[in-house]
Amino acid sequence: MPHHRSSTSPTTAPAEGENPFAGALVCVAGLGVSGPPVARALLAQGARVVVVDGRDDETTRAVAAELTEAGAEVLLGDTPLPEGCDLVVTSPGWRPDSPLLLRAAEAGVEVIGDVELAWRIKPADQVWLAITGTNGKTTTVRMLESILRADGRDALAVGNVGTPVIDAVRPDAEGHVYNVLAVELSSFQLHWSESLRPHAATVLNIAADHLDWHGGLDPYARAKGKVFAHGTVRVVNTADEWSVRLAEEDGDPHAPLVGLRLDTPRAGELGVVEDLLVDRAFVAEPHSSAEELATLADVRPAAPHNVANALAAAALARSIGAAADSIRVGLNAFVPEPHRIAHVAKVAGVDYVDDSKATNPHAAAASLNSYESVVWVAGGLLKGADVDDLVAEAAARLRGVVLIGADRARIREALEEHAPDVPVVEVEGPAADAPPEHTVMDVVVAEAAALAREGDTVLLAPAAASMDMFTNYPERGRFFSEAVHRRA
């Protein structure tokens, strides 16, 4: 392929009104969720686009055909680095040691992700409020969107919540671009971002997750900390050591630092006084005054970790001047996502709760801490995460445990060590003589019901990923809910 390097490199910040992508040769790595919108955005910028993907199946070929028609070159079944490439935009899930990305590094070609690309092409006046962390990102970003809209802002939640970030920085079919984005950011996306500078950002919490991808807890956490790097208002969870540490060590020390806590806030913080969410950061006299934002009844569910999510959303909204009353109205209008501590039914005096979204131990701990007496449904793919601390902390709350999934033996070992008196049942699959509509969850629910007593909660909070037995965590939660309703 002939190559003519553009006069302005897409790896450097352009001058006002300049388009660094015009004529540049950009390789898009991967045809997953982010690949096609990235390719279309680059084509719209006038770049010459080569998309590569190691897959060559029917679904991938159909997507490739659409992009080819739009003007991209697509290579399936292999992942070469195009000769003379100016820039690589990788799908977030591609590991840094992928051969293509290693070849790019050796050739001195910059590698960025979809979020970094979106930042480079967004309108200059578009405001980003960013949310990252191990757990609670989607809930918080949805809460923030609801609050901003209650405040009359032209706002949209983007990221892993429906609209890709790259699409939200470009005009839609009517030519509209949102003024404010509530941006959910993963550790993968932040790993591949360098110049990102949201107006305000929060790291909600850090716990072991994706360690196989990042190579350890410290590089995983540091990827999250990049969200604070460039003069961003730093919103930190004072109860989470990593949240505070990343803001202090990886953030701009001259940028404002706002704390969140579940008790009485100090000056410069948001917190809780009796049943009120209050602000002592974004008020005229933080040392002598506070402003009421909402009540605990406005937060659904009002579990401690979810109150922390609400405070984070409130702080980000307040950082751009949202009115106090908009926090209350927005939280009231917020509808929790499915499979996030969702009450399914009460059967024979026992509550059944679906938190299939709890795909790691940290998320499961938040769920378990919300109930006094629990029959815990757990297991799946642990992704290298340790469960000993989770089990040790939850032991006193456990009435019984039903285990499923590929790594259930690891959870059983932790239970034998830290909760030896708690009865444990392992379930491998649906009963051989079960009706065709029954799934493994019918057996799970039956076993859990046998362990539970009136007043208990049967809690699906697997602490593990779902792909060993289910398509995804929503399917796992749906099968659980359907089994509960069949029993009811």
Q: What is the pLDDT of residues 180-200, one digit of tens each?
A: 999 999 888 998 999 999 999
Q: Which pLDDT value is given to residue 10?
A: 62
Res 271: pLDDT: 98
What b/e sequence results for 125-154 when a residue is b if at least 16 CB atoms lie within 10 Å of its CB, and e otherwise? Answer: ebbbbbbbbbbbbbbbbbbbbbbbbbbebe
CA 102 – CA 100 distance, rounded (Å): 5
For residue 39, the model assigns a pLDDT of 97
Q: Judge residue 296's burial from the number of C-beta atoms within 10 Å of its C-beta, 0-12 exposed, 13-18 middle, 19 or more buried.
A: middle
Structure tokens at 268: 């410069």
Per-residue pLDDT reduced to its tens digit, 316-366:
999 999 999 999 999 999 988 789 888 899 999 999 999 999 999 989 998
| Contact predicate 25/47, CB 8 Å | yes
* pLDDT score of 11: 52
Report the C-alpha gap between 113 and 399 in whole angstroms.
Answer: 45
Average pLDDT by stretches of 10, the chain with 488 residues: 38 60 95 92 97 92 95 94 96 88 96 96 96 91 97 94 89 93 93 94 85 75 92 96 95 95 97 97 95 96 92 98 98 89 93 95 91 96 92 96 97 97 95 87 97 97 96 96 94
**Strand-pair partners of 158:** 163, 183
Is residue 98 within 8 A of residue 149, CB to CB? The reply is: no
* Residue 357 to residue 463: CA distance in whole angstroms: 9
Residue 211: its pLDDT value, please?
63
Please give the Cα distance from 161 to 223 (Å, whole number): 20
pTM: 0.78
What does the alpha-carbon distance between residue 469 and residue 466 come to, in Å, rounded to a whole number?
6
Domains of the chain are 25-113 (3.40.50.720), 122-333 (3.40.1190.10), 342-487 (3.90.190.20)
pLDDT at 239: 96
Compute the distance between CA of residue 106 and CA of residue 96 in angstroms, rounded to an integer: 12
Q: At what angle do helices 440-451 and 473-487 cross, to 10 degrees?
A: 60
Return the number of other C-beta atoms located less than 10 Å from residue 253's C-beta: 9
